[in-house]
Amino acid sequence: MFSVFRDLIRYNIEFAIGLILVGAVVIFAVLSYFSPVDPSLIYMAMPDQPPSGQYWFGTNSRGQDLFWQLSAAFRNSLIFGITVAVLSRIISITVGLLSGYVGGWVDRVLMFINDIFVAVPIFPILVLFYFVLRNNMDSFTLALIMACFGWPFDARLIRSVALGLKHREFTRHAVFAGMSTPKILLEEHLPYVMPIVFSTFMANMLWSIGLEVTLAVLGFTNLNNPTIGTVLYWAISHSAIVVGVWWWIVIPVVLIVMTFLGLFLLAVSMNEYIDPRSRLRRMGA
């Protein structure tokens, strides 16, 4: 596993760039644990100060030090993304492996449900949840709802791998040795789908953080909880660009682009590593 990682960094420029970008953002987000100020409080500093030695990223019109504000925001958004990814991975692994291995009507029912989840647009549903729950909707509830919609794509992918594993020699051995179905799935098949799980993990984080930004920018989340999206929401509602507080918009946008590009590059390069055909292409076959 470690040598795979080393090879990827050394020979796959996309992976290396992605790792640097994501790494920088993660370090920045971790700094929030040492923050001297509570990021949810307002008017703790002089408002509208441009970036300087004292305030590295400046301050916003709400009197918050943007450096610590953004640090907390990125921490919250990353935790949010990871929560959604972990939860939806659990669903997609369970459905994918079961559907592929058990087959028959279990497969048909699960895939029918899968297709429904693919076809129902998540955005109106999320807005509806906000509409009903208003500020009772904390980020864990939101993560839970998104996880319920973030699994079907990847479940299908895992299922297709599981279908192939079902007929392999070692599966038959395990069955004849009297291994129970959950045990076969967990101990024999799970390791084979782990690469897919890792690469879709990144893609899923991209998706959920992006949706959170979208919702927050419209004002459809708990706005007192600093996240990437709510930082933007406040900047826009204070007309930051028009007033000339450009750093309130430009710095978060640069950081967002770094995060998304980094996660995307990681997902793409890992995907390429998993798919031997695209690896061959890299070799010039």
223 near another protein (CB under 8 A): no
272 token code pair: 């390429």
Q: Which of 104, 121, 178, 191 binds another protein (CB under 8 A)?
A: 121
Q: What is the dihedral of CA 128, 129, 134, 136, to 10 degrees?
A: 180
Q: Which residues contact 114 (CB under 8 A, 6 or more apart)?
A: 95, 99, 152, 155, 156
- The smaller minimum CB distance to another protein, of residues 53 and 284, is found at 284
72: number of Cβ within 10 Å: 24
170 near another protein (CB under 8 A): no
The distance of closest approach from Cβ of residue 123 to another protein in the complex, given in angstroms and rounded to an integer, is 3
Q: Which residues contact 236 (CB under 8 A, 6 or more apart)?
A: 217, 249
Residues numbered 134 to 153 that lie near another protein (CB under 8 A) are 134, 153
Q: Please choose, out of 44-52, 78-86, 179-187, 212-220, the segment that lies near another protein by the rule CB under 8 A.
A: 212-220
Residues numbered 64 to 103 that lie near another protein (CB under 8 A) are none
The distance of closest approach from Cβ of residue 253 to another protein in the complex, given in angstroms and rounded to an integer, is 6
Site of interaction with another protein (CB under 8 A)? 7, 10-11, 112, 115-116, 118-125, 127-134, 153, 206, 210-211, 213-214, 217-220, 232, 241-242, 249, 253, 256-257, 260-261, 263-265, 268, 277-278, 280-281, 283-285
